[in-house]
Amino acid sequence: MTVGRALFQLLVFPGLLYAVPVAWLMLWMERKLTARLQGRIGPPFYQPFFDFVKLLAKRPLPRPPLQALAMSALPVLAVAGTLGALALLPVFPHSGGFTGDLVLLVALLEIPPLCAVLAGFVSRSIYGELGATREAVLSIAYSLPFLAALVALAAAANSLSLSVISQQAMWQVRLPALLALALCLPVKLRVNPFSVANAEQEIYAGATTEFEGPRLALWELAHGLEWVALTGLWAVLAFPAANAAWPLRAVVFVAISLALVLVLAAVAAATARLKLAQAARVYWLWGSALGVLAMVVAVVWP
C-alpha cells in the first residue's frame, strides 16, 4: 500500500470524511427505527450531530489532573483506533494492505472496548465500575467466536491479508464465519439483547456514566464509528467481487452496511435485554459452535 492510498483510506474513504457523517447517520437510523417499531416518532436525522455539538460546547467538570488526563485520553484513543481499523478495510479491488493486516485490524477493533473498561474504573463511579466489569466479561465471551471466525477465514484463504481473505476464502467457510461475526455485532455495539454493559435502567450509561461535555461527545463519536467499522468489516467479507469496478464496490459496501444497521436495530427493538450470564452463555455455546464449525471446515475441506 502506497502512502497516498493509505492517507486516502484513513482520511477520506472509508476513513474520516466518510465515517464521521455515516456514524451519525447510523446512530440516527438505529434510534429512528427503534422508535418507529415501538410506536414513537423518533428523532430527526440531524439529532446525533446536534447532540455532538451540544456536548462539545459544555465545560468539563474540574477533576484531579491525572484523572482528567485519563478521562480525556481514553475516548481519543477509542476514536483513533476505530478510524485506523476503517482504513484497513479492503473496500476497493486490489486496495493493497500488507501481510498480517488482519492482526492489526483485530487489535484496533479491541481498543474501544478496552478503553471503555478502563474508563469505567478511572471514573471512580460505582455505575462506571459495574459497566466496565460487564464490558470485560462480555469481551471475553465474544472474543472466542469473533476470533475463531476470522482465523477460519484466514486459514481458508491461506493468508493474513484482509484483501486476500475477502476475495479467496471459500464460501463453505465464509458462511458460518459470517454468521459468527453477525452474532458478535450486537454485543460489540451494545444493543439488545446484549446491551447489559450499558443498561440505562440499571446502571445509567455504564462505563461512561461520569463522562461529560467533550469527553462524552468523543465517546458518542467512537460508538458511532464502531457501527461503521464493524458493519463495514462484515460488508467487505460478504461481498467478495474481485473484478467489480470501484464505484460498484463502494456503493455495495455502503448499502450492506446500512442494511445491517436496520437489521440490528429491528432485532434490538424486538428483543429484551439478556442477563450477563445469559449473554455470555450465548457466545460460549452458539457463537463458539459457529466459529469452531468454520475452523473445522477450513481445515478439512479440500
Domain count, the chain: 1
Q: Where are the alpha helices (DSSP H) in the chain?
A: 3-11, 16-37, 47-57, 65-88, 101-109, 111-122, 126-157, 162-168, 171-189, 200-203, 213-238, 246-270, 276-282, 288-300
Q: What is the pLDDT of residue 222?
A: 95
Q: What is the pLDDT of residue 92?
A: 77
Q: Which three cell numbers stand for residue 44?
A: 430527526
Mean pLDDT, the chain, as a whole number? 89
Q: What is the pLDDT of residue 6?
A: 77
Residue of higher predicted confidence among 100 and 271: 271
Whether pTM exceeds 0.85: yes
pLDDT exceeds 80 at position 134: yes
Q: What is the 3-state secondary structure (H, E, C) of 146-205?
A: HHHHHHHHHHHHCCCCHHHHHHHCCHHHHHHHHHHHHHHHHHHHCCCCCCHHHCHHHHCC
Q: Which domain holds residue 249?
A: 3-300
pLDDT exceeds 90 at position 272: no
pLDDT exceeds 70 at position 201: no
pLDDT tens-digit profile of 141-177? 999 999 999 999 999 999 898 988 988 888 899 999 9
Mean pLDDT of 275-297: 92
Confidence of residue 25 (pLDDT cuts 50, 70, 90): very high
pLDDT exceeds 60 at position 242: no
Confidence of residue 302 (pLDDT cuts 50, 70, 90): low
Q: What is the pLDDT of residue 301?
A: 75
What is the Cα–Cα distance from 18 to 137, expressed in whole angstroms? 32
pLDDT tens-digit profile of 52-106? 999 999 988 889 999 999 999 999 999 999 999 999 998 876 666 778 889 999 9
Q: What is the pLDDT of residue 93?
A: 62
Angle between helix 126-157 and 171-189 (nearest 10): 170
